[in-house]
Amino acid sequence: MEKIPMTAEGLEPLKEELHQLKSVERHAVIKQISEAREHGDLSENAEYHAARERQSFIEGRISELEDIVSRADVIDVSKLSGTTVRFGASVTVADVDTDEETTYQIVGAYEADLKKKKISIQSPLGRALIGKTIGDTAEVTAPGGGKAYEILKVKFK
């Protein structure tokens, strides 16, 4: 089983969602199914079918989250240092064409969120930045075309 790199702050929301699904949502949908059964003929009971579909989704998501949590390899970013881009690093880059500066944190796939400037280690930009140091240029081939970024800063929180 392949480990999934993740920060502690990225693992927490997954654990919270898993707890919510197992302790609240699962019980609520079982109650909905029970109530829908009391309405009679199940073949034409839309409430019953909707509740069963919801139950299927919940059980699938629980299974998926249990797998992710069990394979999580939590990396303590606060114990990392240096100037080489690695998992957990916050990297300030400048677009070579526009000189526009942006800071991204390299995180695991399940915690990536571009709005929060967290990019996956598996994304095209994430892969291009890994192993580079301050002053290096990272060439990225993305769906929108090629881009080049100069690495200005590397820090670990």
Q: For residue 136, what are its two tokens?
A: 């290096």
Where are the alpha helices (H) located in 22-79, listed in sequence order? 26-37, 46-71
State the Cα–Cα distance between residues 55 and 65, nearest whole angstrom.
15
Q: pLDDT exceeding 90 applies to what percent of the chain? A: 81
At 43 the pLDDT is 75
Cβ neighbours of 145 (radius 10 Å):
7
| pTM higher than 0.85 | no
For β-strands 145-155 and 137-142, DSSP reports them as antiparallel
Mean pLDDT computed over every residue of the chain: 93
At 141 the pLDDT is 87
What value does the mean pLDDT take over residues 85-96? 95
DSSP state of 144: T
Domains belonging to the chain, first-starting first, are 4-74 (1.10.287.180), 77-155 (3.10.50.30)
pLDDT band at 115 (very low <50, low <70, confident <90, very high): very high
From the number of C-beta atoms within 10 Å of its C-beta (0-12, 13-18, 19+), residue 32 rates as: middle
pLDDT tens for 50-70 read 999 999 999 999 999 999 999
Ranking 40-44, 87-91, 121-125 by mean pLDDT, the lowest is 40-44
Is there a contact between 116 and 75 (Cβ–Cβ < 8 Å)?
no
**pLDDT reading at 42 higher than 80:** no
Q: 26-37 and 46-71 helices cross at what angle (nearest 10)?
A: 160
**pLDDT reading at 144 higher than 90:** no
